[in-house]
Structure 1
Amino acid sequence: MEVIAYDSSAWSLLPPAIAIVLAVLTRKVLISLGVGILVGAMMLCGFSPAATLVYLAGTILSLVWEDGGVNTWNVFIILFLILLGIMTRAIALSGGSRAFGEWAMKRVASRRGARLLTAFLGVFIFIDDYFNSLAVGSISRPVTDRHRVSRAKLAYILDSTAAPVCVISPVSSWGAYIIALIGGVLTAHAFVVPHTPLGTFMSMIPMNYYAIFAIGLVFFTAWTGRAFGPMKVHEERALGGMLYDPERLPIAGNIEAVEDHGKGSVQDLIQPILVLIVATTAAMIWTGAQELGEEPFSLLGAFENTDVAKALVYGGLAGLGVTFGRMLMAGHAAKTYVSSILDGTRAMLPAIWILLFAWTIIIVIKGIQTGTYLAGMIDGTIPLALIPVLIFLISGIMAFATGTSWGTFGIMLPIAGDIAARVAPELLLPVLAAVLAGAVLGDHCSPISDTTILSSTGASCHHMDHVLTQLPYALFAAALAAIAYLVLGLTGSVWAGFAAGGVLFVLAALVVIKKNLGAMTEY
């Protein structure tokens, strides 16, 4: 079926704009995404009702069946969510969550400790952002709930450590993907750089200003307990024992406190989670090694070729197997297993529906070529000093509008490399780093981003509550990064840009502390 292209028109921005604005105004994510999908499909099909229905049917089918076979990425991600929901419910019913919460209360003695534990785990588990958000959420939620940390704050810590850490870690699914793209850019333009693609990636880490400032802001807020904007409302309410707004249901991934059988131990939570982490990491390496074929094995090569979705399912099955095994040894009744499967699956359904709608609108946005239009806004006539900050901002807008940081990488890294090749080869690494930083920024702010959706799921937080409470923090880190890229462009010094953003960060922190802004009660 022939579709209409809008790559040279601002009309290509309409579907994502409608979805995002409606989501913010109504806080009804599925309806908002549905309207955006419908508008985009109609535009692609020349507003023909019959053609629109055919297009939508084909697009929806492609989520699970594509090119004559199963769309394994989407199906495996959904399966992993279901496995994690069942596993989380089973751990709760067996008493593992209660036991871990009681154990942690004796060792993590404050809200600050609960927040810092989550932040450190978010940095430590860096192999994949999906896995980070869901696994760290499962580990930390019993602790943060007991210390009355709001689900919105938990979701913020998960989201703002997941992608920012993965984007600067070479041994991660993100790092491997980015390194492969960088290698293509260097080859395409015959750049002579003193490093391999891996070395180039490592050199770019200090230039990824947004990721660094976002991580720094997480630890600042975790240590001080400061809360700003809508987040402060959630934190104040959590002090009274209300971790989320009970009127905003259903909540994706929500596993409420349940009456267990009093047989649980800390190991009922620790062992399945550890097996989940180890098995997923091993599966990522194994699936990547399989793809290498006859090529010499390397850890980076394995991560570059890994099948993340398949590895998550393998890890989820291993973790669930250990969970059920421990329940069997404890002598739990058959109804406990049935309840775990049914209730755990039911808890994940809101997240699955949102993901399906988000994937659909991403396909529509790709067809309408929103990313191509945004990328075309850079025409090579802008002053050289402004190139890094403009590429950072446009990458952020693109990721925000399209809901995909990886898609933004794929479009913008070659464009940034082409710009540097033509007008300023010395800016190659800064502009590539600006793309990475902007993509993570847009990913953090976008309600249609799958990473943002899964962070809400990992925290059992209403999705739009997470988006709106994280936004002020993301925009503050973005402002620091924009100033840093502007200074970098003006001076040509990476460290001057870093120093400019860092000094402003410290000054802002001192003002917040001195004036007691956003102060929350600690206990």
Structure 2
Amino acid sequence: MEGTIFSLIPAILMLVLVLVTRKVILSLGIGIIVGAFMLTQMDIGSGIGLIWSIFASIFVSDGALNMGSIYLLAFLFLLGIMTAFMTASGGSLAFGKWAVERIRTRRGAQLVPSLLGIVIFIDDYFNALAVGQVAKPVTDRYKVSRAKLAYYIDSTSAPITVISPISSWGAYIIGTIGSILAANEITNYQAFEAFVLMIPANLYVFAALLLVFMTIYFRLDIGPMRTHEKRALETGELNDPEKGDVPGDLNDEFKEHENGKITHLIWPIVSLIVGTVATMVITGIRNSEGTADILSIFANTNVNISLFTGGLIAVFIALVLYIGQPQPKSNVIRVLAEGLKAMLPAIYILIFAWMIGDIISQLQTGEYLAQQFSQADINIAYLPFIIFLLSGFMALSTGTSWGTFGIMLPIAGEIAAVTDPTLILPALSAVLAGSVFGDHCSPISDTTILSSTGAGANHIDHVLTQLPYAIICAVAASVGYIILGLSGQVWIPLLITLVIVAVVALIIHKINPATTSTSK
């Protein structure tokens, strides 16, 4: 069944179950079981053995510890501990009070995560988790639902990272582009120049960023988001109380210290940022061959160990600050345990997402979709549009932007080079745009999971509330890519894409009045 149409079954089944049941662990689990049995020809014993081996490979691979995944999981636990100490020390409460005095509107509170999401462009994981820690005290004060916060985080993290050359994504993409240009003997431009020229053709990214700020200004609560925002404003419940525990939710297990200061929140976060970025630079230099420049550093950096190191430093700082506070305060062990427990929902979802991603990879779902595309007889003018849709569906099904990049960038580059070399950069841009779109819609995407974790939102609520916004941007980008392919222009399709998003947003604003009619 590998590499055939049947390879789509686990991905489609999982997506349908998520939408119907809204239970992500159950849906992922069924997808894993079905996919494993397909790979083992329905042999129960072999299927169970395969599931166990896939689970074990998350921690041990080729006889050695799989440090990449271990570091990331450990970082999530460290993030939970850091958040617990910042909360118990009263740092989050103090920062919230300070922010309320300076950020006087609900609109201003929502600008905090959106602007931070653009400023912190080095890595999407780091962006998703760090922005949430800073923004939550502010958005919570103004009763912004956690689903809305997760949308702001997710819709700025991947979009800004994928167009930033000085980022983990940018470095990886530039390296891939270089090999594609060399393989197709294209010498008009170097890899870095090609990446920069591709930026305006990444239509979905700019549509998503525009819609974020129009959502803030016009208070657009589309689809399920309206329910979450209305509940938050009327009851103060930032998450659906019927959904149970959410990642990072401490459930008021301890009382915040009354003498907390802003420094109890600021210093751990500053140490997290400095420690992570410094380690990224150090590991990038060590892993670079010859003289290291800024691009080689970010191309060769070890993001996961950098996050772990930054998290370790941040926890130490948060712990020292907490211990230094006067009595009364909660027991240190209790605070630590609550921080660990708060991250368990995110850990479970991430592990299951990795497992079904492995299953889908073994079924060669991505390769099947790419093969069907390569064999299709299509009008070359529609190449960017079709590549955008296919990359989006592939990222949605597999839950990985990087995996989609790896499969689709070479294919798109080769097809464009053979048929119409002038479309090679728009075609590659369409891969990047479609991958981010699919990532935004996928419940098994790492970035989506970590965005809901950083915001402290129920994961499925985040996926479902972000979906209408992502679809609006994807429709606008699709029109743009059709015009791009037909006209050969880049800036006009970008302008048309943004105009469509703006018009749709204004129409929604007019026919669907904002939930927050009295609070700006």
TM-score bracket, shorter-length normalisation: over 0.9
Shift in Å, 1:502: 2.1
- Kindly provide the CA deviation profile for residues 172-203 of structure 1, in whole angstroms up to 9, marking residues without a partner as x: 11111111111111111111223x21111111
Match of 2:21 in 1: 26
2:169 counterpart of 1:185: no
Tell me, in whole angstroms, the C-alpha distance in 2 between the residues paired with 1:210 and 1:180.
22
What is the correspondence of 1:223-372 to structure 2 with a 5 Å cutoff?
223-240=217-234, 241-257=236-252, 258-293=254-289, 295-331=290-326, 336-372=331-367
- Is the CA contact (8 Å cut-off) linking 1:170 and 1:300 kept in structure 2? yes
Unaligned runs of 5+ in 1: none
Shift in Å, 1:247: 0.9
- Kindly provide the CA deviation profile for residues 209-259 of structure 1, in whole angstroms up to 9, marking residues without a partner as x: 001110111111112212110001110111011111111012122134441
Match of 1:58 in 2: 53
Identity %: 47
2:110 aligned to which of 101, 109, 115 = 115
What is the correspondence of 1:171-182 to structure 2 with a 5 Å cutoff?
171-182=166-177
Shift in Å, 1:73: 1.1
Q: Write the letter of the residue equivalent to 1:136.
A: V
- Kindly provide the CA deviation profile for residues 412-435 of structure 1, in whole angstroms up to 9, marking residues without a partner as x: 001101111211111000000000
Match of 1:478 in 2: 474
1:202 aligned to which of 183, 196, 206 = 196
Unaligned runs of 5+ in 2: none
Tell me, in whole angstroms, the C-alpha distance in 2 between the residues paired with 1:307 and 1:150.
34
SS at match of 1:247: helix
- Is the CA contact (8 Å cut-off) linking 1:228 and 1:518 kept in structure 2? no
Task: Name which of structure 1's ranges 183-192 and 92-101 shifts more when overlaid on structure 2.
Answer: 183-192
Judging changes above 3 Å, is the alpha-carbon distance between structure 1 residues 199 and 315 closer, same or farther for their aligned structure 2 residues?
Answer: same
- Kindly provide the CA deviation profile for residues 388-437 of structure 1, in whole angstroms up to 9, marking residues without a partner as x: 00000000000000010110000000110111121111100000000000
What is the correspondence of 1:89-238 to structure 2 with a 5 Å cutoff?
89-194=84-189, 196-238=190-232
Match of 1:437 in 2: 433
Tell me, in whole angstroms, the C-alpha distance in 2 between the residues paired with 1:518 and 1:493.
37
Q: Write the letter of the residue equivalent to 2:356.
A: I
Shift in Å, 1:322: 1.2
- Is the CA contact (8 Å cut-off) linking 2:211 and 2:505 kept in structure 1? no
- Is the CA contact (8 Å cut-off) linking 2:366 and 2:404 kept in structure 1? yes
1:424 aligned to which of 411, 420, 425 = 420
Tell me, in whole angstroms, the C-alpha distance in 2 between the residues paired with 1:274 and 1:222.
27
Tell me, in whole angstroms, the C-alpha distance in 2 between the residues paired with 1:332 and 1:491.
70
Shift in Å, 1:150: 0.5
Match of 1:401 in 2: 397
1:12 aligned to which of 7, 26, 29 = 7
- Is the CA contact (8 Å cut-off) linking 1:395 and 1:435 kept in structure 2? yes
SS at match of 2:243: coil
Shift in Å, 1:298: 0.8
Tell me, in whole angstroms, the C-alpha distance in 2 between the residues paired with 1:451 and 1:319.
22
Shift in Å, 1:335: 5.2
- Kindly provide the CA deviation profile for residues 342-390 of structure 1, in whole angstroms up to 9, marking residues without a partner as x: 0000000010000000000000000001001111221252001110000
Shift in Å, 1:332: 5.8
SS at match of 1:6: coil
Tell me, in whole angstroms, the C-alpha distance in 1 between the residues paired with 2:251 and 2:217.
27
Q: Write the letter of the residue equivalent to 2:140.
A: D
2:87 counterpart of 1:86: no
SS at match of 1:330: coil
TM-score by structure 1 length?
Answer: 0.96
Tell me, in whole angstroms, the C-alpha distance in 2 between the residues paired with 1:513 and 1:333.
49
Tell me, in whole angstroms, the C-alpha distance in 1 between the residues paired with 2:223 and 2:299.
39
Shift in Å, 1:326: 1.4
Shift in Å, 1:519: 4.8
- Is the CA contact (8 Å cut-off) linking 1:160 and 1:214 kept in structure 2? yes
- Is the CA contact (8 Å cut-off) linking 2:154 and 2:447 kept in structure 1? yes
- Is the CA contact (8 Å cut-off) linking 1:119 and 1:222 kept in structure 2? no
Match of 1:464 in 2: 460
Match of 1:35 in 2: 30
SS at match of 1:127: coil
Shift in Å, 1:328: 2.8
Tell me, in whole angstroms, the C-alpha distance in 2 between the residues paired with 1:474 and 1:330.
45
Tell me, in whole angstroms, the C-alpha distance in 1 between the residues paired with 2:194 and 2:400.
23
